[in-house]
Amino acid sequence: MDKSIRELFDLSGKVAIVTGGAQGIGKGIALRLAEAGASVAVSDINLESAQATVGEMKKMGYKAVAVQSDISKVAEAERTVQETVKHFGDLHILVNNAGVYPFASTETMTEATWDKTLNINLKGLMFFSQAAVRAMAAKGHGGKIVNIASVDGLHPTGNLLSYDASKGGVIMLTKALAKDLAPKGINVNAIAPGAIVTPGASGGLAGMSQEQIDAVTKAFLATIPMGRQGTPDDIGRVALFLASDAADYITGSVVVADGGYLVG
């Protein structure tokens, strides 16, 4: 063994970008990476929210900067990476977390919804990865890319057609990138979260009475063997593992973190 457990999970001197890092899963990931010693660029379309998260992180003694990014636009990828490298001097870790999940059935799907979902969830991931790889290669070292997929990329839950298609794409793109980038020393893996309690997920219950929300929650929890929904930190811990030296021999994999939902 050439490294201790403490050394394997030590990200001191590493620089990370977390897209959609201002809240929810992204924030949970940003906090864990920063706790492990990484300098973190919190990339989000909502600059005010990103700045608030960075403010919290700095109060904890962490190194972080807010970067406003619209990941549906290819040019934003290069700019975000350049701003991060300018601020922290390097880039070692990219977490492609930002995404949207609009509800729509086959009959109600619109071209605008389809295009927006694929542009953010899949195209954005591709070109942020491309920009990150260029930065890593320019510095002459490898790196880690962690993509946030979903259990919906493996098993559709219903009325999320564009989301399911995009997350299925994320899983296959993760494998394709892993094969392409392995010779460069860059590991690419994905996490497929199940039901995670986030502000965005709670928005899907808007308009329901508390009685309706309780009924929906009870019925959904019955499908999860562990009996609870996940937290952003549940995903943050997995992301930390995949971004660390402990995962050096893992690439092209999908880690399912769903409380047993898929096997339930």
Tell me the C-alpha to C-alpha distance, in Å, between residue 197 and each of 104, 191, 202, 229, 232.
21, 16, 7, 6, 7
**Which phi-psi region, left, alpha or beta, contains residue 92 (left: φ > 0; alpha: ψ -120 to 50)?**
alpha
Beta pairing class for 15-19 and 93-96: parallel
Active site residue 62: no
CB 185 within 8 A of CB 220: no
- Locate 184 and state its tokens: 């460069």
Read off the DSSP letter of residue 63.
Answer: -
186-193 β-sheet, strand order: 64-68, 39-44, 15-19, 93-96, 143-148, 186-193, 254-257
For the chain, give the longest Cα–Cα distance: 57
Burial 204-232 (b: 16+ CB within 10 A, else e): eeeeeeeeeeeeeeeeeeeebeeeebbeb
φ/ψ of 53, rounded to 5, equals -65, -45
- Residue of 62, 163, 249, 261 marked catalytic: 163
Which among 205, 204, 223, 203 has a CA at the least distance from the CA of 214? 205
What is the set of active-site residues?
Answer: 163
